[in-house]
Amino acid sequence: MHRNFTLLTLLCLSGTLAMQAQTRYLDAMFNVSAPETVTYANNISILTGTPTPTDLKMDVYQPVNDTAQLRPVVVTWHTGNFLPQVLNFSAYGDTKDSINVNLMRRVVSRGYVGISADYRKGWLPTADNQDVRTGTLLQAVYRASQDAHALARYLRKTVAEDGNPYRIDTSRIVYMGTGSGGYVVMAHATLDRIEEIATNPQFYDEDGNLLVDPAVLSNPQGTTQAQINIPNHVGYSSDVAMAVNIAGALGDSIWMEGKPNEPMILAYHSLTDPFAPYYAGTVIVPTTNQPVVDVAGSNLFIRRANALGLNADLEAANALTLDAKFGPLATKINQINAQYKQMQVKSPIPTATNDVFQYSRDNMFPFRYSRVVGAPYNYFNTDRLSQLVAGYNAAFPNDTRDVNVIVAGEAQTNPNYNNPAAANLVIDTIMAHFLPRAYIGLKLGDASTSIEEVMSNAAVGLDLYPNPTTGGFTVSVAENLRIRQIDVFDINGRNVARFTGLNQSSYNVERGDLPKGQYIVQLRLDEGTTARKVMLR
């Protein structure tokens, strides 16, 4: 195996990185909390035999002792072939997969809120019929994407209705998916109309029936009642600002249309990935090693995202020399990628197309290996896996799994499956590419990043009236305090009004042309910040 020389570069530069001045969202500044498991939605699972409503969970990680009022959030979606761990003949498939936990540690230590989310699973990979394999997998991606829509709406609901318990800036939500989770993220980002599926001939069975029936599954956003869908948090936006694919793919590149609400898109992928094509080709699911459906890989859809202008705000992040605050590795990665962009390659995977294509592009970075490699960023503990397999076999004695077979299968495509240090070097490389693009693309340098004291309403004597109101409203605090700035945020987290240069304990806020709805009013005082909801009718 030719080691990825970007990883070697990382070792050489590690000492230099430690000398950089700390910048929030770029440098590790915080300890990371233990995860809090939260239910974000309830929807119908097919894994239960009879379709049954099931709670969908997410693990929330926060930076310890961080008092910033509004923070961007990174949501990770795990791999697993759309089947539960072990059932899928894999060591992975859970919110606690090593890649997801390690991504959480890295982003949360830099001041992000981190969420590792679960989603609905279930399909028929062993079916003899190609239509059944393709249809049930497409439906699994569709349902999981609906769950991703529900989670974004849930986050906005917590801001509007629950006092923003995680202090999330909902204008800065990042979705990041690995393997199967990459399919979820990309479908969420681009598939917004059932007609987009209907244009692809491979999404019909041999009798001409569309393999996704909205009467059964609802629309792509999951906002209408259907046989296999319960609407969650309807009325809130499910858009995100950035979508990151790690070794997943996109069902059809034409789903990406360059619409204003489509996110910036990044990708990380191995040219020799045997399961999800790097450019374009057929999905091979390791559960059965059977072909399922043709898809667009990272290289192809990043090409389209760049051409459509979705990544226009990232231009500065692709410079050959980046600002010193991003660290020397970020610049080195851009310089290496500039070399990759000059190379023409053909995928060595037999199931891929024979197209010759540009090896890399702006806003993506390849894992470079000379052998077949799928997910070099993941690893597992064999003893722990043995316990999981034993528990599974006890519960399902007629459908047992062999831990040795699972380990041997992973060893074929992941040189780092038992080497956490090597896997973490791959993750560090991903982070060195991702963090500057998130910082620039999300405009985090313009965000309110000071470490402020968050004051309770009672502590400052906050009053807001009338509430609800059909016009403007008044905010006031204790007479001995001074309001310095007022910000008004809509339920999507966008700042829709700002009043600065204030020096008083009471202020009348004019409604202007704000439409009806719920808003968050944030006050900045010398002592810290506080906030309250207001309803405009």
* Maximum Cα interatomic distance, the chain, rounded to a whole number of Å: 76
Show which of 425, 448, 471 is a domain's final residue: 448
**Are 381 and 479 contained in the same domain?**
no
Sole residue written with tokens 């899928």: 88
Q: How far is CA 117 from CA 40, 427, 428, 481, 503, in A?
A: 9, 19, 21, 41, 43
What is the predicted pLDDT for the residue at 458? 76
Q: Look at residue 199 and tell me whether its pLDDT is greater than 50.
A: yes
| Confidence band, pLDDT 50/70/90 cuts, at residue 145 | very high
**Are 469 and 444 contained in the same domain?**
no
**Are 320 and 214 contained in the same domain?**
yes
* Model pLDDT for residues 383-428, shown as the tens digit of each residue: 999 999 999 999 999 999 999 999 999 999 999 999 999 999 999 9
Q: Look at residue 522 and tell me whether its pLDDT is greater than 70.
A: yes
* Domain count of the fold of the chain: 2
**Are 393 and 467 contained in the same domain?**
no
Give which of 286, 267, 262 is closest to 275, Cα–Cα.
286
Where b means 16+ CB within 10 Å and e means fewer, 83-120 reads bebbbbbbbbbbbebbbbbbbbbbbbbbbbbbbbbbbb
| Confidence band, pLDDT 50/70/90 cuts, at residue 67 | confident
Q: How far is CA 466 from CA 316, 469, 473, in A?
A: 45, 5, 6
| Confidence band, pLDDT 50/70/90 cuts, at residue 163 | confident
**Are 431 and 503 contained in the same domain?**
no
**Are 441 and 483 contained in the same domain?**
no
What is the predicted pLDDT for the residue at 19? 41
Show which of 448, 474, 489 is a domain's final residue: 448
| Confidence band, pLDDT 50/70/90 cuts, at residue 432 | very high
**Are 497 and 419 contained in the same domain?**
no
What is the predicted pLDDT for the residue at 14? 43
Query: Does residue 55 lie within any of the structural domains?
Result: yes
Mean residue pLDDT across the chain: 90
Stated length of the chain: 537
Taking the whole predicted model, whether its pTM rises above 0.95 is answered as no
Higher pLDDT, 346 or 222: 222
Query: Does residue 3 lie within any of the structural domains?
Result: no
Q: What is the CATH number of the domain that holds 467?
A: 2.60.40.1930
* Structure tokens given for 352: 């891929």
Average pLDDT estimate for 79-107: 96
**Are 353 and 467 contained in the same domain?**
no
What is the predicted pLDDT for the residue at 287? 61
Query: Does residue 17 lie within any of the structural domains?
Result: no
SS3 242: strand
* Model pLDDT for residues 221-250, shown as the tens digit of each residue: 999 999 999 999 998 999 999 999 999 999
**Are 271 and 359 contained in the same domain?**
yes
SS (H, E, C) 361-415: CCCEEEECCCCCCCCCCCCCCHHHHHHHHHHHHHHCCCCCCCHHHHHHHHHHHCC
**Are 437 and 501 contained in the same domain?**
no
Query: Does residue 18 lie within any of the structural domains?
Result: no
* Structure tokens given for 287: 């559960």
**Are 479 and 367 contained in the same domain?**
no
* Structure tokens given for 150: 């529900």
Q: Look at residue 186 and tell me whether its pLDDT is greater than 50.
A: yes
| Confidence band, pLDDT 50/70/90 cuts, at residue 10 | very low
Q: Look at residue 354 and tell me whether its pLDDT is greater than 80.
A: no
Q: Which element (helix H / strand E) includes 335?
A: helix 328-340
Q: Which element (helix H / strand E) includes 494?
A: none
What is the predicted pLDDT for the residue at 520? 87
User: Which residues constitute the domain of residue 531?
Assistant: 463-536
Helices 328-340 and 5-17 sit at what angle, rounded to 10 degrees?
160
Query: Does residue 98 lie within any of the structural domains?
Result: yes
**Are 444 and 343 contained in the same domain?**
yes
Higher pLDDT, 384 or 161: 384
Higher pLDDT, 420 or 134: 420
**Where do the H-state alpha helices sit in 162-277?**
180-190, 194-198, 214-217
Query: Does residue 372 lie within any of the structural domains?
Result: yes
Main-chain phi, psi angles of 330, to 5 degrees: -60, -40
Range scoring the smallest mean pLDDT among 73-77, 394-398, 497-501: 497-501
Give which of 182, 114, 171 is closest to 148, Cα–Cα.
182
Contact status, residue 364 vs residue 266, Cβ threshold 8 Å: yes
Query: Does residue 27 lie within any of the structural domains?
Result: no
What is the predicted pLDDT for the residue at 450? 41
Query: Does residue 349 lie within any of the structural domains?
Result: yes
Show which of 392, 416, 448 is a domain's final residue: 448
Give the full edge-to-edge strand order of the sheet including 52-61: 36-45, 52-61, 113-117, 71-77, 168-178, 242-246, 264-270, 364-367
Average pLDDT estimate for 277-301: 80
